[in-house]
Amino acid sequence: MSQDTMGWAWSVYDEAGEIVASGLDACQDTAKAAVDRAMRHVAWIGLSAPGGRRRAPAGSA
């Protein structure tokens, strides 16, 4: 997460360094909650996919 004049920007990356989710929130707590949700979502997709690993499309969290 990083703070700028618009609020808190955040991104979640996969093992290959690709962004799988990102966003911008007004307060740090809201941004942290969004990161936590995105990470749970990406982990769930990875565990539920055949073979146990699948990438989520960017911005799908």
Q: Which amino acid is at 53?
A: R
Which pLDDT does position 43 carry in this prediction? 78
The pLDDT tens digits for 18-56 are 998 999 999 999 999 999 999 888 877 765 655 555 555
CA–CA gap between residue 29 and residue 32 (Å, rounded): 5
Backbone torsion region of residue 15, taken as left when φ is above 0, otherwise alpha when ψ lies between -120 and 50, otherwise beta: alpha
Is-above-0.85 flag for pTM?
Answer: no
CA–CA gap between residue 49 and residue 31 (Å, rounded): 27
Give the length of the chain. 61
Per the DSSP assignment, residues forming a β-bridge with 8 are 3, 25
- H/E stretch holding 20 reads strand 19-25
Q: Which is more confident, 45 or 5?
A: 5
